[in-house]
Amino acid sequence: KKSMPFFGKKVMVTAGPTYEAIDPVRFIGNHSSGKMGFALADELAKLGAEVTLIAGPTSEKSTEALTRIDVISAQDMFNACNANFEQSDVTIMCAAVADYRPKMIAEQKIKKQESDFNLALEKTVDILASMGKIKKPEQILVGFALETNDEENYAKGKLERKNLDLVVLNSLNDKGAGFKSDTNKITIFSRALERTVFDVKSKNEVAKDICNAILKLIK
């Protein structure tokens, strides 16, 4: 009989990029594929969790039974997370949320200009930090960090600042890690600042390691 360690647990996962509209035909986005978040959501569902997957624009498909909410912008993702956070026992924010969005969305397609064109940007809401602020002691909150330099210090800082239980660091300096890759190399930091380094693995295997780290916190 298959063991279901997440049975009875409600888990929310965010995945993929966000698109921030400039005008009706253009947006600011990023190269996140959504693969890591979808692998996590599928693995959690296999382990018995009741999963809500909040996905930015992606061509990924999930293979397990879960509730999927498709969103486009950071604001949409925030709204969906906010509506689902309170009932989530575990929340994993894997999405590559845009940090800035155009201050104004042009109603019509912006025409080519003779001279340079400046686009004014404003900050988006930090979804993870917002959830960290309202988190109850029994809720588990997991964030991701993707850094190109001084990665360990940034990862630890994020754990504190955003009130997280775990932070999963993926390094772009490691071969076989990153956005479009089918593999990833992670280091997990826990609240006690315990540090676990993993080898390069498929994103499905990485998802299992992350689930095990979360299970240690639940027990």
Residues pairing with 192 in the sheet:
none
- Tell me the angle at which helices 203-218 and 35-46 cross, rounded to the nearest 10 degrees: 50
What is the H or E stretch that residue 41 is in? helix 35-46
Question: How many Cβ atoms sit within 10 Å of the Cβ of residue 209?
Answer: 18
Q: Which lies closer to ligand C5P via its Cβ, residue 49 or residue 74? A: 74
Q: Specify whether 30 is catalytic.
A: yes
Site string for ligand C5P, 110-149 (x = CB under 6 A): --------------x-xxx--------------xxx----
Those residues with Cβ within 8 angstroms of residue 90's Cβ, 6 or more apart along the chain or in another chain = 9, 10, 11, 12, 49, 139, 140, 141, 142, 214, 218
Site string for ligand C5P, 189-218 (x = CB under 6 A): ------------------------------
Which of 30, 82, 163, 204 is the catalytic position?
A: 30
Write out the binding residues for ligand C5P, residues 91-110 only, by CB under 6 A. Answer: 93, 95, 97, 99
Strands (E), the chain: 10-15, 20-23, 26-28, 50-55, 67-70, 90-93, 100-102, 121-123, 140-147, 166-171, 183-184, 186-190, 195-197, 201-202
CB of 85 to ligand C5P, least distance (A): 11
Q: Is 144 annotated as a binding residue?
A: yes
CB of 99 to ligand C5P, least distance (A): 6
Write out the binding residues for ligand C5P, residues 152-181 only, by CB under 6 A. Answer: 158
Write out the binding residues for ligand C5P, residues 48-77 only, by CB under 6 A. Answer: 74
Those residues with Cβ within 8 angstroms of residue 87's Cβ, 6 or more apart along the chain or in another chain = 10
Q: Is 99 annotated as a binding residue?
A: yes
- Give the separation between CA 16 and CA 5, rounded to whole angstroms: 26
Site string for ligand C5P, 9-48 (x = CB under 6 A): -----x----------------------------------
CB of 59 to ligand C5P, least distance (A): 19
Q: Is 109 annotated as a binding residue?
A: yes
- Give the separation between CA 10 and CA 48, rounded to whole angstroms: 9
List residues near ligand C5P by CB under 6 A. 14, 74, 93, 95, 97, 99, 124, 126-128, 143-145, 158
Known binding site for CTP: residues? 99, 109, 144, 158, 162
Residue stretches of the annotated binding site: 99, 109, 144, 158, 162
